[in-house]
Amino acid sequence: MVWNPFLLKDITAIEKVQRRFTKLTYHQRLVKVGLESLELRRIRVDLVFAYKIIFGLTDVNTEDIFTVCASNSRRGHGYKMYMPYSKFTARYNYFNHTVGRIWNALPCDEVDFSSLRRFRNSLTAKVSVRYCSLKFI
């Protein structure tokens, strides 16, 4: 499993590596190189992996990670995740809880769930940046 930091100090420490290459501000360097922040890229990759799990495009059993309620009677999109309850706070930093909170908050009018390609293309920076803890002004 790839190391997946969830603390803001760990994310900041990893992104400092990218800051050392030029003397521009971090945001200016990312724009100049044509990249997005590490956190934004990780959110997008996690959401795409969650899409693959929910729609059966991987060999992962969906019921082991979370329960999906596919209905249009709820607010937002029709693919809400229900994460298993845990009384331990460390569990809230696991993949299913961190991605589940972001997944359930995705706007249904901006995200297309019809195919993987369309879903990936609809996860623009405008949609994903809402869920980043590091903001650039």
Q: Residue 116's pLDDT is what?
A: 94
Q: Can you give the residue range of the structural domain that contains 49? A: 37-131
Is there a contact between 102 and 131 (Cβ–Cβ < 8 Å)?
yes
| pLDDT digit string, tens, across residues 34-56 | 888 888 888 899 999 999 998 88
Q: Residue 72's pLDDT is what?
A: 62
In a domain, 18, yes or no: no
Is there a contact between 83 and 96 (Cβ–Cβ < 8 Å)?
yes
Q: Residue 2's pLDDT is what?
A: 39
Grade residue 22 by pLDDT with cuts at 50, 70 and 90: low
In a domain, 32, yes or no: no
In a domain, 26, yes or no: no
| pLDDT digit string, tens, across residues 58-117 | 888 888 777 887 666 567 788 888 877 777 777 777 888 888 888 888 888 889 999 999
Q: Residue 46's pLDDT is what?
A: 92
In a domain, 45, yes or no: yes
Question: What would the mean pLDDT of 11-29 be, rounded to a whole number?
Answer: 74
- Taken in order 22, 24, 30, 33, the sign of the CA dihedral is negative
In a domain, 51, yes or no: yes
In a domain, 137, yes or no: no
In a domain, 31, yes or no: no
- Whether 137 has a pLDDT exceeding 90, the answer reads no
In a domain, 123, yes or no: yes
Q: How many distinct structural domains can be found in the chain? A: 1
